[in-house]
Amino acid sequence: MSINDNVRSHQLPVASAQETWRYVLKIMKEHKGGLAALVVLHVFAIGAGVFSPILFGWLIDTLTDVAVPVRLNVWVLFSILCVVLAMQAFLTWCAQRTSWRFGENIFMRLRNDVIDGVTRLPLIVVEQAGRGDVIARTTNDIDAVSEAVRIGLPESLVAVLYLMFAAASSFLLDWRIAFISLAGLPLLFLVTRWYVKRSQHAYEEELRNHGRFDSISSESIESARTVDLLNDSKRIMDALGEGAHNVSKAERYTLSLQQWWFPAVQLGYYLPFALVAIVGGAMVLNGQANIGIVVAIAMNTQLVVDPMDDLLYWTDQLQLAWAAMRRMAGVSTTKSAISLDGSEDTENCIQDTSDGCMVTVDSLYVEYEKGNPVIKDVSIRIMPGESIALVGPSGAGKTTLALALCGLIPPAGGYISISYLSPKLYGRQPRVMFVAQESHIFSGTLRFNLHLINSSADDVAIRNALMLVDASEYSSHLDDNVNDLDLGSVDKQKIALARVVLENPDFVVLDEAMSTFSYEEMARTETMFRKVLKGKTVIMIAHRLQTAMRCNRIVLLDHHHIVEQGSPYELLASDSDFAKYIKQ
């Protein structure tokens, strides 16, 4: 599924099976040393484990005076058996320790990839996917994969190797009884094939329902006060109830599959032991087999029960993990940049240019619900280096228009173009930045919060950015946790503006980015910040006259379309709608 498909379906991308396998193989190649060590240690541990039943069978045959391949003293055999068991225990400990370390390294890589992938996805995809889908990818999906990676894959590998070694050992001892020990495999194969065929889709549906429920829950919690004011709690509770019902229904279906699968699997485990004991016992009584060989093969059938149980258990859990892995790979392997027309380009971004870009909008329509436009027939051209004040009453569509210009909301109709006029920059994708009124400060150091926008910025660049937004007092606190700095709303907005300095975008939209500033603070900060904005194309959504008056042009938006536009002093001097709006 392409990025644009996901934009239309309002979902984060899900990787195909082929893409997921390529992603998994790429990670395995990067950790091939750890994988090789894991396999070698498990091979030796399993070899010791499979050899112990053979020694035990020889010990029994020696005690019963039956011919054995290697005639040794009973106490020598017993001593060798003890050494082999001790080696098995030690090698198993080493192998499991290596498995855990390998699993943790893989899981760390997967977790980092999915978090990095979500933060690097085109914002249009993340914004429209909804909070629940993002939360599910970074919580439920990671949890589903984590246990499989750290425990499931090593145990599945051990189980497969154990089955191979035990089968080879049994056939070397007596091929006739060994065939009998395989009696449970057809049953296991058939019921597992039936189960896997149905469970993959069931687990994908379960994860989707969890994502929808998470979305409803998080949005309801955040909007609790609004819901209470609007007396809309019944509708929210109905939505939560429906979401919980869908989750329960999906989980009940997967449980119903397990109720049929597990009993059949248990029968497949213990049927071989019963047949080996009965048929092997009859062969011993008829002199066709040694009792030690029958005991050794019977022990093999029991020794593989736990590995087979692990393998089939993880067959179930890996179905869930695979569905989650496809969702994780979808965000981990998606290219990070997208232009407004959908063409992707990450290599042509300009990193060191002060040129602004031209923004052209022609007959733009934006809809949140089909047939109900919130931006109607808007056309405007913004020249490079021009600053625009976007003003208008609440609900006029100012933020919606700004989001559409930044590519965060797809237009329902019309055309948006953001491009350079300078010939030397043709074909390059401009850097666009949207700064919302709500400041996003994350747990961690102040340096971490500023590195989110530009990880290569050194301390000199960071301190310069803080100085340009009138926040020099924090220059000596870069390594302090933001939770310990007691940041106020003004400080948080200054940090957001410092990110603009570090990113150095070509086109920036400031949506009430200084709304918490006092008039004096705003005037002082704007004076310093305009050094950064010089030559940039800027849109400022403003409710304060002082901010609007400092811009080159004012655009008045009302009833979802542009009412008028012009220079600040021309509009104030005339009998314009803007002048009337200011006087209200």
Which CATH number characterizes residue 25's domain? 1.20.1560.10
Q: What pLDDT is stored for residue 10 in this prediction?
A: 58
User: Is residue 294 situated within a structural domain?
Assistant: no
State CA 238 to chain mean position distance: 29
C-alpha 316/C-alpha 264 separation (Å) is 14
Q: pTM for the full model?
A: 0.55
What percent of the chain clears pLDDT 70, i.e. is strictly above it?
Answer: 85
pLDDT(7) > 80: no
- For 454-552, strand residue ranges (E) read 507-511, 537-541
268/240 same-domain check: yes
Q: Which of 120-134, 135-149, 348-362 has the lowest mean pLDDT?
A: 348-362
C-alpha 413/C-alpha 375 separation (Å) is 10
pLDDT digits 0-9 by tens, 337-373: 333 333 333 333 333 444 568 899 999 998 877 788 8
Q: What pLDDT is stored for residue 72 in this prediction?
A: 57
Structure tokens at 407: 């590519």
Work out the pLDDT band at 29, boundaries 50, 70, 90: confident
Judged by phi (left if over 0) then psi (alpha if -120 to 50, else beta), residue 485 lies in alpha
Q: What pLDDT is stored for residue 514 in this prediction?
A: 84
Work out the pLDDT band at 539, boundaries 50, 70, 90: very high
**Number of folded domains that form the chain:** 3
User: Is residue 549 situated within a structural domain?
Assistant: yes
Across residues 98-115, what is the average pLDDT?
Answer: 82
257/406 same-domain check: no
Q: What pLDDT is stored for residue 584 in this prediction?
A: 61
User: Is residue 520 situated within a structural domain?
Assistant: yes
169/180 same-domain check: no
Q: What pLDDT is stored for residue 135 in this prediction?
A: 74
State CA 13 to chain mean position distance: 10
pLDDT digits 0-9 by tens, 78-88: 777 788 888 88
pLDDT digits 0-9 by tens, 292-306: 778 877 887 877 787
Work out the pLDDT band at 336, boundaries 50, 70, 90: very low
462/551 same-domain check: yes
- For 51-122, strand residue ranges (E) read none
Amino acid identity of residue 79, one-letter, is S
User: Is residue 341 situated within a structural domain?
Assistant: no
Kindly report the average pLDDT of the chain as a whole number.
79
Structure tokens at 46: 């399993």
Q: What pLDDT is stored for residue 553 in this prediction?
A: 92
User: Is residue 342 situated within a structural domain?
Assistant: no
Q: What pLDDT is stored for residue 163 in this prediction?
A: 79
331/218 same-domain check: no
30/149 same-domain check: yes
The CATH number of residue 445's host domain is: 3.40.50.300
User: Is residue 114 situated within a structural domain?
Assistant: yes
**Secondary structure letter of residue 445 according to DSSP:** B
327/404 same-domain check: no
Across residues 83-101, what is the average pLDDT?
Answer: 84
Report helix, strand and coil shares of the chain as percent, to nearest 5.
65, 10, 25
pLDDT(71) > 70: no
pLDDT digits 0-9 by tens, 153-200: 777 887 888 778 778 878 887 888 888 888 888 888 888 888 877 887
**Contact (Cβ atoms closer than 8 angstroms) between residue 122 and residue 338:** yes
Distances (CA, A) of 13 to 9, 22, 191, 263, 321: 10, 16, 32, 37, 17
- Closest to 410 in 3D by CA, of 375, 455, 440: 375
Q: Is 315 helix (H, G, I), strand (E, B) or coil?
A: helix
At residue 231, φ and ψ (nearest 5 deg) are: 55, 45
User: Is residue 353 situated within a structural domain?
Assistant: no
142/185 same-domain check: no
User: Is residue 352 situated within a structural domain?
Assistant: no
160/189 same-domain check: no
**DSSP codes of every residue in 347-382:** S---SS-----EEEEEEEEEEEETTEEEEEEEEEEE
Residue 155's contacts (CB-CB under 8 Å, 6 or more residues apart) are 307, 310, 311, 314
pLDDT digits 0-9 by tens, 499-519: 988 988 889 999 888 888 888
**Contact (Cβ atoms closer than 8 angstroms) between residue 57 and residue 293:** yes
**Contact (Cβ atoms closer than 8 angstroms) between residue 364 and residue 520:** no
Residue 99's contacts (CB-CB under 8 Å, 6 or more residues apart) are 38, 42, 154
Q: What pLDDT is stored for residue 574 in this prediction?
A: 80
pLDDT(3) > 70: no
Identify the domain containing residue 193 by its residue range. Answer: 175-288
- C-alpha dihedral, 268 to 269 to 273 to 274, nearest 10°: -50
87/166 same-domain check: yes
CA 78, 83, 88, 93 torsion-angle sign: positive
pLDDT digits 0-9 by tens, 233-279: 777 788 888 888 888 888 888 888 888 888 888 888 788 888 888 88
203/280 same-domain check: yes
Amino acid identity of residue 5, one-letter, is D
233/94 same-domain check: no
